Amino acid sequence: QVQLVESGGGLVQAGGSLRLSCVASGRTFSSYGMGWFRQAPGKEREFVATVAWNGGWTFYSDSVKGRFTISRDNAKNTVYLQMDSLKPEDTAVYYCAARSQRFQSLYRDDYDYWGQGTQVTVSS
């Protein structure tokens, strides 16, 4: 069983930056592919970014490519999402997710564990 706890959300003006963190419990963090998803009010949860077990492979949604960066520190059991040039349409609850496979995935159903989410609000 893996527990995920996100932090770092908040209120920021358009053009600003935030860094989300997700700390995972357990000793097998380095064997999990990790992802970030988000859900805006009235919308389905959507893929944002994913990273493979060693940080060597990443993939982003078109809406955040070039603005967001996913990374991980296996020694700290932590995955990060650096968000720059934020836009009002980035406003959502952001969720960290872990899958019991080493490689990345952009599909929500491929993930086995989810955090509770952290709110990101971008004002115009």
77-104 pLDDT, tens per residue?
Answer: 999 999 999 999 999 999 999 999 999 9
22-78 pLDDT, tens per residue?
Answer: 999 977 899 999 999 999 999 999 999 999 999 989 999 999 999 999 999 999 999
Distance CA 106, CA 97 (A): 11
Three-class SS state of 17: coil
pLDDT at site 117: 97
* Number of Cβ within a 10 Å radius of residue 9: 19
The Cβ-side half-sphere exposure at 49, using a 13 Å CA radius, reads 21
